[in-house]
């Protein structure tokens, strides 16, 4: 308990799924949390209702914005510094997903997927990094995916972005390490979230249950616990690392998400 007592954290895509679980865990551990979200009235309303006391106490703030736009990260940073005076942890988690054959993915779809899933991460890292370099301390945690370890069919743009984030994580860890800034990644395996709700058919769930050595799909709080570790001082000598949290899936063979046209 209280591993983040008094620290300030930004979590993008924090209104539902893994992001919301990270918000909950960070609040429990004593952090002040700023949540960025986009186009999720239901999720943000539920978060406000469930954590009304934290909002009243100034422990939780929510702001809508499109992280694929560079100015959004800068605006969120200005709000955080204006409110709290500093920042300790930035978690890049916001993501979108589309199941599609690579040969039919349109240019607009490709660019939108990369704009959110890759560009948005860079803008977040850049905004946080500028402040962290001045402060001479700070932690960035990028949420990647087990897909960049064990490729999954029909998710080319999403997987390409996640793989690029791993490279970005390592590069920034090398660039900023001598300023006391740590940059790491967490790669969730199959996880029960709204983002995956349409992908996880009964057949897919049965396949995962068979292939995952621990026998189940992850819950968001399983991932949040690992993000907490990388955000806390317990990982003070860890940087440039992608920590895979998948119940052993990526060491136990491939899986796929079938399309409706009989793909196999």
Residues labelled catalytic:
158
Measured CA distances, 83 to 8, 58, 61, 77, 259 (Å) = 10, 9, 10, 10, 47
216/213 Cα distance (integer angstroms): 8
Contacts of 121 (CB under 8 A, 6+ apart): 92, 142, 161, 165, 168
Residue 96 · residue 117 · CB < 8 Å = yes
Contacts of 60 (CB under 8 A, 6+ apart): 23, 27, 32, 33, 35, 47, 51, 54
In the numeric block, which tokens belong to residue 106? 């349109």
187/135 Cα distance (integer angstroms): 28
Enter the DSSP assignment of 227: H
């Amino acid at each position: 308990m209280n591993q983040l007592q008094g620290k300030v954290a930004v979590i993008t895509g924090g209104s539902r799924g893994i992001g919301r679980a990270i918000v909950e865990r960070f609040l429990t551990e004593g952090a002040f949390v700023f949540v960025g979200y986009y186009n999720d009235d239901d999720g943000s309303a539920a978060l406000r209702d469930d954590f009304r006391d934290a909002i009243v106490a100034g422990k939780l703030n929510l702001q809508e914005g499109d992280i694929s736009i560079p100015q959004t990260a800068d605006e969120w940073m200005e709000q955080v510094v204006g409110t709290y005076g500093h920042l300790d942890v930035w978690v890049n988690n916001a993501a979108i997903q589309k199941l599609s054959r690579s040969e039919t993915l349109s240019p607009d779809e490709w660019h939108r997927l990369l704009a959110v899933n890759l560009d948005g991460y860079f803008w977040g890292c850049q905004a946080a990094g500028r402040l962290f370099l001045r402060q001479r301390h700070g932690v960035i945690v990028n949420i990647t995916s087990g897909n960049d370890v064990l490729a999954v069919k029909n998710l080319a743009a999403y997987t390409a972005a996640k793989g690029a984030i791993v490279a970005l994580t390592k590069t920034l860890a090398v660039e900023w390490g001598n300023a006391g800034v740590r940059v790491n990644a967490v790669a969730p395996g199959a996880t029960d979230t709204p983002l995956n709700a349409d992908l996880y058919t009964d057949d897919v769930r049965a396949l995962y249950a068979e292939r995952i050595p621990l026998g189940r799909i992850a819950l968001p709080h399983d991932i949040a616990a690992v993000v907490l570790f990388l955000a806390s001082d317990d990982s003070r000598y860890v940087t440039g690392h992608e920590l895979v949290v998948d119940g052993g899936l990526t060491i136990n063979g491939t899986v796929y998400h079938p399309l409706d046209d009989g793909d196999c």
